A and B are shown apart, each in its own frame.
Chain A
Amino acid sequence: MIVAGIQPDAEFVHWWFATGFLVLALLLYAEILVGPEVWARRPWRRYLWPGTLFLMGLLMWPVMTFFTNSMIHMVAHGSWAQALMVAGGAELGLVRGKLHSQWWRLTSFVGLLVSGTALLVHEQNGWTFARAAFLHHAIGWLVIGASVFPLLQAFRPRSVVAASGFATTFAVMAVLLFCDRDVAPVFGHLSTYAGVPHR
Protein backbone atom coordinates (compact mmCIF):
# COMPACT_ATOMS: atom_id res chain seq x y z
CA MET A 1 0.00 0.00 0.00
CA ILE A 2 2.83 2.41 0.87
CA VAL A 3 4.62 1.68 -2.43
CA ALA A 4 1.36 2.12 -4.35
CA GLY A 5 0.88 5.48 -2.63
CA ILE A 6 4.25 6.93 -3.52
CA GLN A 7 4.93 5.35 -6.91
CA PRO A 8 4.35 7.46 -10.03
CA ASP A 9 1.46 6.76 -12.39
CA ALA A 10 2.14 4.43 -15.33
CA GLU A 11 1.82 7.30 -17.81
CA PHE A 12 4.79 9.11 -16.23
CA VAL A 13 6.93 6.01 -16.70
CA HIS A 14 5.84 5.83 -20.35
CA TRP A 15 6.95 9.46 -20.82
CA TRP A 16 10.34 8.76 -19.21
CA PHE A 17 10.89 5.82 -21.52
CA ALA A 18 9.73 8.02 -24.44
CA THR A 19 12.53 10.42 -23.46
CA GLY A 20 14.98 7.51 -23.56
CA PHE A 21 13.81 6.49 -27.03
CA LEU A 22 14.15 10.10 -28.21
CA VAL A 23 17.77 10.12 -26.98
CA LEU A 24 18.39 6.86 -28.85
CA ALA A 25 16.86 8.27 -32.04
CA LEU A 26 19.01 11.42 -31.95
CA LEU A 27 22.20 9.45 -31.32
CA LEU A 28 21.43 7.03 -34.16
CA TYR A 29 20.55 9.86 -36.59
CA ALA A 30 23.80 11.63 -35.71
CA GLU A 31 25.82 8.46 -36.27
CA ILE A 32 24.20 8.02 -39.69
CA LEU A 33 24.99 11.63 -40.64
CA VAL A 34 28.65 11.59 -39.63
CA GLY A 35 29.44 7.97 -40.49
CA PRO A 36 30.88 5.26 -38.22
CA GLU A 37 34.51 6.42 -38.56
CA VAL A 38 33.90 9.97 -37.29
CA TRP A 39 31.44 8.68 -34.68
CA ALA A 40 34.15 6.40 -33.27
CA ARG A 41 36.82 9.14 -33.08
CA ARG A 42 36.01 9.63 -29.39
CA PRO A 43 35.87 6.28 -27.60
CA TRP A 44 33.13 7.32 -25.13
CA ARG A 45 30.78 8.17 -27.99
CA ARG A 46 30.72 4.58 -29.27
CA TYR A 47 29.16 3.46 -26.00
CA LEU A 48 26.43 6.11 -25.95
CA TRP A 49 23.52 4.45 -27.69
CA PRO A 50 24.24 0.82 -26.75
CA GLY A 51 24.72 2.01 -23.15
CA THR A 52 21.42 3.90 -23.24
CA LEU A 53 19.66 0.82 -24.64
CA PHE A 54 21.16 -1.39 -21.92
CA LEU A 55 20.27 1.11 -19.19
CA MET A 56 16.68 1.27 -20.42
CA GLY A 57 16.54 -2.52 -20.18
CA LEU A 58 17.88 -2.36 -16.65
CA LEU A 59 15.27 0.26 -15.69
CA MET A 60 12.52 -1.89 -17.17
CA TRP A 61 12.93 -4.39 -14.31
CA PRO A 62 11.57 -2.07 -11.59
CA VAL A 63 8.76 -1.20 -14.01
CA MET A 64 8.01 -4.91 -14.28
CA THR A 65 8.11 -5.29 -10.51
CA PHE A 66 6.01 -2.31 -9.48
CA PHE A 67 3.73 -1.54 -12.44
CA THR A 68 2.30 -4.86 -13.55
CA ASN A 69 -1.05 -6.01 -12.24
CA SER A 70 -1.33 -9.36 -14.02
CA MET A 71 0.87 -12.25 -15.07
CA ILE A 72 0.65 -11.38 -18.77
CA HIS A 73 1.70 -7.76 -18.06
CA MET A 74 4.60 -9.00 -15.97
CA VAL A 75 5.78 -11.39 -18.69
CA ALA A 76 5.48 -8.65 -21.35
CA HIS A 77 7.48 -6.11 -19.32
CA GLY A 78 10.03 -8.78 -18.42
CA SER A 79 10.49 -9.68 -22.09
CA TRP A 80 11.06 -6.00 -22.98
CA ALA A 81 13.64 -5.73 -20.20
CA GLN A 82 15.47 -8.79 -21.48
CA ALA A 83 15.22 -7.74 -25.14
CA LEU A 84 16.62 -4.26 -24.40
CA MET A 85 19.44 -5.63 -22.24
CA VAL A 86 20.44 -8.36 -24.70
CA ALA A 87 20.40 -5.96 -27.70
CA GLY A 88 22.25 -3.25 -25.73
CA GLY A 89 24.71 -5.78 -24.33
CA ALA A 90 25.47 -7.23 -27.77
CA GLU A 91 26.06 -3.75 -29.21
CA LEU A 92 28.30 -2.89 -26.23
CA GLY A 93 30.25 -6.09 -26.89
CA LEU A 94 30.65 -5.17 -30.56
CA VAL A 95 31.88 -1.61 -29.93
CA ARG A 96 34.22 -2.82 -27.16
CA GLY A 97 35.67 -5.41 -29.52
CA LYS A 98 34.73 -8.37 -27.32
CA LEU A 99 32.30 -9.57 -29.98
CA HIS A 100 33.25 -9.63 -33.65
CA SER A 101 30.53 -11.25 -35.69
CA GLN A 102 28.06 -8.88 -37.36
CA TRP A 103 25.39 -11.51 -36.70
CA TRP A 104 25.21 -10.24 -33.12
CA ARG A 105 23.16 -7.42 -34.63
CA LEU A 106 20.39 -9.97 -35.01
CA THR A 107 19.78 -9.50 -31.27
CA SER A 108 18.14 -6.14 -32.11
CA PHE A 109 15.97 -7.89 -34.70
CA VAL A 110 14.92 -10.59 -32.23
CA GLY A 111 14.47 -7.95 -29.51
CA LEU A 112 12.09 -5.89 -31.66
CA LEU A 113 10.19 -8.96 -32.80
CA VAL A 114 9.75 -10.27 -29.24
CA SER A 115 8.86 -6.81 -27.90
CA GLY A 116 6.25 -6.21 -30.60
CA THR A 117 4.68 -9.61 -30.07
CA ALA A 118 4.57 -9.06 -26.30
CA LEU A 119 2.91 -5.68 -26.85
CA LEU A 120 0.17 -7.19 -29.01
CA VAL A 121 -0.35 -10.30 -26.91
CA HIS A 122 -0.65 -8.53 -23.57
CA GLU A 123 -3.16 -5.93 -24.84
CA GLN A 124 -6.51 -7.56 -24.20
CA ASN A 125 -8.70 -4.74 -25.54
CA GLY A 126 -9.49 -3.56 -29.06
CA TRP A 127 -7.85 -0.62 -30.83
CA THR A 128 -10.41 2.03 -29.84
CA PHE A 129 -11.05 0.85 -26.25
CA ALA A 130 -8.91 3.72 -24.95
CA ARG A 131 -5.79 5.61 -25.95
CA ALA A 132 -3.50 3.21 -24.09
CA ALA A 133 -4.99 0.23 -25.95
CA PHE A 134 -4.62 2.02 -29.29
CA LEU A 135 -0.99 2.82 -28.54
CA HIS A 136 -0.23 -0.77 -27.51
CA HIS A 137 -1.57 -2.02 -30.86
CA ALA A 138 0.13 0.77 -32.84
CA ILE A 139 3.52 0.34 -31.14
CA GLY A 140 3.27 -3.44 -31.35
CA TRP A 141 2.74 -3.47 -35.11
CA LEU A 142 5.29 -0.67 -35.59
CA VAL A 143 7.94 -2.62 -33.72
CA ILE A 144 7.21 -5.90 -35.52
CA GLY A 145 7.32 -4.14 -38.90
CA ALA A 146 10.46 -2.21 -37.98
CA SER A 147 12.30 -5.39 -36.98
CA VAL A 148 13.14 -5.69 -40.69
CA PHE A 149 15.65 -2.81 -40.31
CA PRO A 150 18.06 -4.49 -37.84
CA LEU A 151 17.63 -7.71 -39.85
CA LEU A 152 18.76 -5.80 -42.93
CA GLN A 153 21.62 -4.26 -40.94
CA ALA A 154 22.90 -7.73 -40.02
CA PHE A 155 23.27 -8.52 -43.73
CA ARG A 156 24.26 -5.02 -44.88
CA PRO A 157 25.88 -3.21 -41.92
CA ARG A 158 26.52 0.00 -43.90
CA SER A 159 23.00 0.35 -45.31
CA VAL A 160 21.81 3.92 -44.73
CA VAL A 161 18.18 2.91 -45.35
CA ALA A 162 18.33 0.23 -42.66
CA ALA A 163 20.08 2.52 -40.17
CA SER A 164 17.64 5.39 -40.87
CA GLY A 165 14.68 3.04 -40.48
CA PHE A 166 16.08 1.77 -37.16
CA ALA A 167 16.56 5.34 -35.88
CA THR A 168 13.12 6.43 -37.09
CA THR A 169 11.55 3.47 -35.25
CA PHE A 170 12.78 4.92 -31.96
CA ALA A 171 11.67 8.45 -32.89
CA VAL A 172 8.13 7.24 -33.69
CA MET A 173 8.06 5.13 -30.52
CA ALA A 174 8.99 8.23 -28.52
CA VAL A 175 6.12 10.21 -30.08
CA LEU A 176 3.62 7.39 -29.46
CA LEU A 177 4.74 6.91 -25.85
CA PHE A 178 4.55 10.66 -25.18
CA CYS A 179 0.90 10.47 -26.35
CA ASP A 180 0.07 7.88 -23.70
CA ARG A 181 -2.31 8.60 -20.81
CA ASP A 182 -3.62 6.16 -18.21
CA VAL A 183 -7.28 6.73 -19.09
CA ALA A 184 -7.97 8.92 -22.11
CA PRO A 185 -10.03 8.77 -25.30
CA VAL A 186 -8.60 7.97 -28.71
CA PHE A 187 -10.12 9.75 -31.71
CA GLY A 188 -12.93 10.86 -29.38
CA HIS A 189 -13.76 7.30 -28.30
CA LEU A 190 -13.40 5.90 -24.79
CA SER A 191 -15.02 2.66 -23.67
CA THR A 192 -17.29 2.93 -20.63
CA TYR A 193 -15.30 0.05 -19.13
CA ALA A 194 -12.01 2.00 -19.34
CA GLY A 195 -12.74 4.20 -16.33
CA VAL A 196 -12.99 7.92 -15.77
CA PRO A 197 -10.29 10.17 -17.25
CA HIS A 198 -8.63 11.79 -14.27
CA ARG A 199 -7.31 14.83 -16.09
Chain B
Amino acid sequence: MSAEIARRLERIGQEERTRVRTPRMRAVLALGPVTALAGVAWAVAQPWRLTLLHPYGQGFWWLLAEPPLYVVGVGLAFWRLVARELVEDMAKAKR
Protein backbone atom coordinates (compact mmCIF):
# COMPACT_ATOMS: atom_id res chain seq x y z
CA MET B 1 0.00 0.00 0.00
CA SER B 2 1.44 3.35 -0.96
CA ALA B 3 1.96 6.05 1.67
CA GLU B 4 -0.55 8.30 -0.09
CA ILE B 5 -3.36 5.70 0.14
CA ALA B 6 -2.48 4.94 3.75
CA ARG B 7 -2.66 8.64 4.59
CA ARG B 8 -6.00 8.98 2.82
CA LEU B 9 -7.44 5.99 4.70
CA GLU B 10 -6.16 7.43 7.95
CA ARG B 11 -7.82 10.76 7.16
CA ILE B 12 -11.13 9.05 6.31
CA GLY B 13 -10.94 7.12 9.58
CA GLN B 14 -10.31 10.35 11.49
CA GLU B 15 -13.27 12.07 9.83
CA GLU B 16 -15.53 9.13 10.67
CA ARG B 17 -14.41 9.19 14.29
CA THR B 18 -15.13 12.92 14.42
CA ARG B 19 -18.55 12.35 12.88
CA VAL B 20 -19.55 9.91 15.63
CA ARG B 21 -21.10 12.32 18.09
CA THR B 22 -21.92 11.75 21.71
CA PRO B 23 -25.12 13.17 23.23
CA ARG B 24 -23.00 15.92 24.85
CA MET B 25 -21.55 16.91 21.46
CA ARG B 26 -25.03 17.03 19.98
CA ALA B 27 -26.22 19.15 22.91
CA VAL B 28 -23.36 21.64 22.42
CA LEU B 29 -24.08 21.81 18.70
CA ALA B 30 -27.81 22.24 19.38
CA LEU B 31 -27.43 25.19 21.80
CA GLY B 32 -26.92 27.77 19.04
CA PRO B 33 -29.58 26.56 16.57
CA VAL B 34 -32.15 26.13 19.38
CA THR B 35 -31.47 29.71 20.50
CA ALA B 36 -31.76 30.96 16.92
CA LEU B 37 -34.99 29.00 16.51
CA ALA B 38 -36.37 30.61 19.68
CA GLY B 39 -35.61 34.01 18.11
CA VAL B 40 -37.44 33.02 14.91
CA ALA B 41 -40.43 31.77 16.93
CA TRP B 42 -40.46 35.06 18.84
CA ALA B 43 -40.39 37.03 15.58
CA VAL B 44 -43.34 35.01 14.27
CA ALA B 45 -45.29 35.40 17.53
CA GLN B 46 -44.61 39.14 17.87
CA PRO B 47 -43.81 40.51 14.41
CA TRP B 48 -44.31 44.09 15.65
CA ARG B 49 -41.06 43.70 17.61
CA LEU B 50 -39.28 43.76 14.22
CA THR B 51 -39.47 47.35 13.03
CA LEU B 52 -37.60 46.33 9.88
CA LEU B 53 -40.86 44.77 8.69
CA HIS B 54 -42.55 48.19 8.77
CA PRO B 55 -39.66 50.67 8.68
CA TYR B 56 -41.43 53.83 7.52
CA GLY B 57 -41.49 56.57 10.13
CA GLN B 58 -39.13 54.69 12.47
CA GLY B 59 -36.14 56.46 13.99
CA PHE B 60 -32.56 55.21 13.95
CA TRP B 61 -32.70 53.48 17.36
CA TRP B 62 -35.99 51.74 16.61
CA LEU B 63 -34.50 50.36 13.40
CA LEU B 64 -31.39 49.22 15.26
CA ALA B 65 -33.33 47.60 18.11
CA GLU B 66 -34.59 44.26 16.77
CA PRO B 67 -34.63 41.92 19.80
CA PRO B 68 -35.73 38.71 18.01
CA LEU B 69 -32.93 39.24 15.50
CA TYR B 70 -30.46 39.70 18.37
CA VAL B 71 -31.48 36.28 19.68
CA VAL B 72 -31.11 34.70 16.23
CA GLY B 73 -27.74 36.43 15.81
CA VAL B 74 -26.43 35.26 19.19
CA GLY B 75 -27.51 31.67 18.44
CA LEU B 76 -25.88 31.59 15.02
CA ALA B 77 -22.71 33.34 16.19
CA PHE B 78 -22.38 30.92 19.11
CA TRP B 79 -22.80 27.93 16.79
CA ARG B 80 -20.34 29.27 14.21
CA LEU B 81 -17.66 30.70 16.51
CA VAL B 82 -17.78 28.56 19.64
CA ALA B 83 -19.79 25.33 19.36
CA ARG B 84 -18.14 23.81 16.28
CA GLU B 85 -14.62 24.22 17.64
CA LEU B 86 -15.77 22.93 21.01
CA VAL B 87 -17.05 19.72 19.43
CA GLU B 88 -13.75 19.31 17.56
CA ASP B 89 -11.92 19.65 20.85
CA MET B 90 -14.27 17.15 22.51
CA ALA B 91 -13.51 14.65 19.74
CA LYS B 92 -9.76 15.26 20.13
CA ALA B 93 -9.98 14.84 23.90
CA LYS B 94 -11.89 11.59 23.44
CA ARG B 95 -9.14 10.12 21.26
Contact A30 B93 (CB under 8 A): no
Contact with A along B13-38 (1 / 0, CB 8 A): 00000000000100110011001000
Would you call the interface of chain A mostly helix, strand, loop, or mixed? helix
Instruction: Count residues of A near B (Cβ-Cβ below 8 Å).
Output: 25
Contact A22 B24 (CB under 8 A): no
CA distance A197 to B86 in the complex (A): 45
Contact with A along B79-90 (1 / 0, CB 8 A): 000110110011
Interface of chain A residues 34 through 66 with chain B (CB within 8 A): 34, 37-39, 41-42, 45, 48
With an 8 A cutoff between CB atoms, is B61 at the interface? Answer: yes
Q: Interface segment, A7-15, A68-76, A106-114, A123-131?
A: A7-15
- B67 cross-chain contacts in A, Cβ below 8 A: 15, 18-19, 178
Would you call the interface of chain B mostly helix, strand, loop, or mixed? helix
Extra inter-chain contacts (16) besides given A15-B65, A37-B93, A42-B85, CB under 8 Å: A8-B64, A9-B61, A18-B70, A19-B70, A19-B74, A26-B78, A30-B28, A30-B82, A30-B83, A34-B24, A38-B86, A38-B90, A39-B86, A45-B86, A178-B67, A199-B48
Cross-chain pairs A/B with CB under 8 angstroms, 25 sampled: A8-B61, A8-B65, A9-B61, A12-B61, A12-B65, A15-B65, A15-B70, A22-B70, A23-B78, A26-B35, A26-B74, A26-B75, A26-B78, A30-B31, A33-B28, A33-B31, A34-B86, A37-B93, A38-B90, A39-B86, A41-B92, A42-B85, A178-B67, A178-B71, A199-B48
